[in-house]
Each structure stands twice: as structure tokens, then as C-alpha cells.
């Protein structure tokens, strides 16, 4: 294990926090059925962290040993100062990389600027391989720019390009095999995400598809999946090399399994919401307010103590796994876009 910085962030269960996901906005130009309602209300702009506040929070996290950061939302590319935020993070220095989660709609317009500012990795969300199913999932007609984002990201020298697809029964089961086929000749990691209950996204047991069923669909379609040894800091996906009638694929396939709970034990992350709350767990309820103390003039030491408090009170597992059946899954009070996915 590398030397710990003078003050390392270790949670109450002995896990070291090295990865932060920072949400920069709750706004979005899509309305994915699993994420936000058509009439989603957004926070007033003054409630969101400014570029300077994001940089200050990131410096606190870096000084406590966070090495990798991801910008998310809402849709981060709807923020006009996104490249500035990336260049601030780049100046702070995150050796594990600066990543972006995006829906890809505006990404082609800003990709080169973000790359020049220091962005190293891109995750693009896409739940369907063609326009009609895309519209059903995203409630908007923007398939083409998203497909262009994937082409462009693979051309530009990003360290990795990943595609994330949420799978919902009755909406896009058929897309699993179609999206997986994209790995044949592209250096793309396509990851299928289990649908999670959130806010008012009307999650129902019947809509849920577990990773084993998705894997079964791929195998039935002739894909052979071989597990890739897991890098402990790479994130929650279980990755597989793929081969099919087309031969060995250039890309890989992964499953992100928050509902089947296969990754809490190795969780190394903390989240910062766009309105400045630290969250140890996506499903947690013990948020620590960092932004209001910052705005009230709290000292560096006081702010560091708040980050440490958020780590200390991080949940051991998603609360929904502590003795609850799937039918009694608690719905989180915020949507995914408001927590920062």
C-alpha cells in the first residue's frame, strides 16, 4: 500500500476514500425515465457551487488523499464554465485522472476544449443503439449527437471511453445485445447498470433486471464472457473480455450491480452534491453540509474536519441491503440527478 498522506480519509469501516464524484449541476437536457420526471424542478442557481467553490472543495479532498475525481450531475456539459472547472482540477492534480459522466448531447461541441483542459476519461450514457428506443428512454430526440460523442471520444486521446446503459424491463431489454455488439470493433467498455430505486422514478420489482439475467441474454446470443481481473481502484463494474462469432472483441463488457450489492465492501468513494453536501453513500441519509460553512467563512481546518466527519459516518452498505427485502426498498428523497450520479 502506498504511503498515506499526513491526513488520509478513512471511513468508520476501515475503507480508505480515494475517489470523489462531484456533481456540478442538477440541470439536464434529457429526461431519462429512470432519472427525472418531465416536470423536474431545479434548484435556484445561487444554491449551486460556483467554480471557485468546486475548486476549493476539490483541494480539500486532494489534501486528504483523494486521487481520482469524476464530474457528474445532472448534465455537466450544460454548465458554461465546465472547461474552467476541469482546468482547476487539473491544476490541483489528481493522479488517478479527471473523468466526466455525460449524456453526450452537447459533448461534441466541448470535447476538444475539455481534453485540452485536462479531462482524461469519458463515460457516456446511452441506453439504446438506435433513435427510436433512445427517445423512449430519454424522452428527447437527441440520439445522433450522442452517437457522434462516442465516435469522437474514441478518436481523441482520452485514456478510456466507457458507455453506460441502464436496463429496464419493458423498455430496452433488446438493446443489451445491440449495444454489446459495439464492442466488436471499438475500444469501448460497454457497461450495463441495474435500475435503482430513486426519488419518484416509480421503480418496481417487475421492471428490475439483475446482472445475471443480462449476462444470460448475451450468452444466449453467442457471446463468450471471460472475467477481467479487477483493479481495486477502477470502480464498481465487473468487466469481461468478449468474443463472439466476430472473433475476439476490441472492447469489453461490464455490469454495475448496485441492487445485487456486490461492491459495498470495496467502496472507496465519496460524493459532493451540486449544492455542496458531502455524501458517503449514494443511498445514505447522513449528508454533511460543506458549502454553507464555506460561505460563512469557515477556516480550512474546520472544512477539513467536515470532510473527515462525512467519511466517518459513511454507511457500511447501502441501507437497502440491511435486512430489507427488495419490495421494501426505501425510495431516496432525491432523484439521481439531484444526488449526482
Window contacting ligand SF4 (CB under 6 A); options: 69-77, 92-100, 205-213, 297-305: 69-77
Q: Does 20 bind ligand SAM (CB under 6 A)?
A: no
Q: Which of 23, 67, 103, 172 binds ligand SF4 (CB under 6 A)?
A: 103
Q: How many residues bind ligand SAM (CB under 6 A)?
A: 20
Pick 80 or 297: Cβ nearer ligand SAM:
80
Q: Which of 23, 67, 78, 125 binds ligand SF4 (CB under 6 A)?
A: 125
- For the CB of residue 28, give the shortest distance to ligand SF4 in the complex, in Å: 3
Strands 160-167 and 189-194 come out as parallel
Pick 66 or 329: Cβ nearer ligand SAM:
329
Q: Which of 17, 147, 337, 338 binds ligand SF4 (CB under 6 A)?
A: 337
The listed partner (ligand SF4, ligand SAM, none) that binds 18, CB under 5 to 8 Å by sort, is none
Helix, strand, or coil (residue 286)? coil
Q: Under 8 Å CB-to-CB from 46, ≥6 apart: which residues? A: none
Residues in region 44-103 near ligand SAM by CB under 6 A: 72-73, 75, 101-103
- For the CB of residue 106, give the shortest distance to ligand SAM in the complex, in Å: 10
Q: Does 35 bind ligand SF4 (CB under 6 A)?
A: yes
Determine phi and psi for 142, rounding to 5 degrees.
-115, 35
Q: Are 212 and 219 in contact (CB under 8 A)?
A: no
Pick 60 or 105: Cβ nearer ligand SAM:
105
Q: Does 168 bind ligand SF4 (CB under 6 A)?
A: no
CA dihedral 41, 289, 76, 52 (to 10 degrees): 120
CA 46 remoteness from chain centre: 24
Q: Which of 17, 24, 35, 291 binds ligand SAM (CB under 6 A)?
A: 35
Distances (CA, A) of 164 to 123, 131, 195, 213, 306: 7, 16, 12, 17, 32
Structure letter (DSSP) for residue 147: H
C-alpha angle 213-219-223 in degrees, rounded to nearest 5: 135
Which residues in 195-212 are b (16+ Cβ under 10 Å) and which e? bbbbbebebeeebbbebe
CA 239 remoteness from chain centre: 16
Q: Does 341 bind ligand SAM (CB under 6 A)?
A: yes
Q: HSE on the CB side for 303, CA within 13 Å?
A: 23
Q: Which of 15, 58, 75, 199 binds ligand SF4 (CB under 6 A)?
A: 75
Residues that bind ligand SAM in the complex, under the rule CB under 6 A? 28, 34-35, 72-73, 75, 101-103, 125, 164, 166, 193, 195-196, 198, 201, 336-337, 341
Residues that bind ligand SF4 in the complex, under the rule CB under 6 A? 28, 30-32, 35-36, 73-75, 103, 125, 336-337
Amino acid at each position: 500500500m502506498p504511503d498515506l498522506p499526513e491526513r488520509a480519509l478513512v471511513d468508520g469501516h476501515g475503507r480508505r476514500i480515494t475517489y470523489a464524484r462531484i456533481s456540478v449541476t442538477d440541470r439536464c437536457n434529457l429526461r431519462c425515465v429512470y432519472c427525472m420526471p418531465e416536470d423536474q424542478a431545479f434548484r435556484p442557481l445561487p444554491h449551486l457551487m460556483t467554480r471557485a467553490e468546486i475548486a476549493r472543495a476539490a483541494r480539500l479532498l486532494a489534501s486528504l488523499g483523494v486521487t481520482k475525481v469524476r464530474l457528474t450531475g445532472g448534465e455537466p456539459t450544460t454548465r458554461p464554465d465546465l472547461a474552467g472547472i476541469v482546468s482547476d482540477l487539473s491544476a490541483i492534480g489528481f493522479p488517478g485522472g479527471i473523468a466526466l459522466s455525460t449524456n453526450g448531447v452537447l459533448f461534441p461541441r466541448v470535447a476538444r476544449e475539455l481534453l485540452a483542459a485536462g479531462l482524461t476519461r469519458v463515460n457516456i450514457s446511452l441506453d439504446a443503439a438506435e433513435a427510436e428506443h433512445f427517445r423512449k428512454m430519454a424522452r428527447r430526440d437527441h440520439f445522433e449527437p450522442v452517437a457522434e460523442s462516442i465516435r469522437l471520444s474514441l478518436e481523441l486521446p482520452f485514456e478510456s471511453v466507457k458507455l453506460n446503459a441502464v436496463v429496464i424491463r419493458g423498455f430496452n431489454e433488446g438493446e443489451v445485445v445491440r449495444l454489446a455488439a459495439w464492442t466488436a470493433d471499438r475500444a469501448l467498455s460497454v457497461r450495463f447498470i441495474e435500475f435503482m430505486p430513486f426519488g419518484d422514478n416509480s421503480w418496481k420489482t417487475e421492471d428490475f433486471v439483475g446482472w445475471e439475467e443480462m449476462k444470460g441474454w448475451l450468452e444466449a446470443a453467442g457471446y463468450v464472457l471471460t472475467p477481467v481481473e479487477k483493479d481495486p481502484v477502477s470502480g464498481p463494474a465487473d468487466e469481461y473480455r468478449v468474443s463472439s462469432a466476430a472473433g475476439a472483441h476490441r472492447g469489453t463488457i461490464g455490469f454495475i450491480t448496485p441492487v445485487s450489492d456486490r461492491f459495498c465492501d470495496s467502496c472507496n468513494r465519496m460524493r459532493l452534491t451540486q449544492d455542496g453536501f458531502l455524501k458517503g453513500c449514494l443511498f445514505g441519509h447522513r449528508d454533511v453540509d460543506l458549502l454553507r460553512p464555506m460561505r460563512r467563512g469557515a477556516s480550512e481546518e474546520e472544512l477539513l474536519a467536515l470532510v473527515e466527519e462525512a467519511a466517518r459516518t459513511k454507511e457500511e452498505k447501502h441501507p437497502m441491503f440491511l435486512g430489507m427485502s427488495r419490495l421494501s426498498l426505501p425510495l431516496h428523497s432525491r432523484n439521481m440527478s439531484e444526488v449526482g450520479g
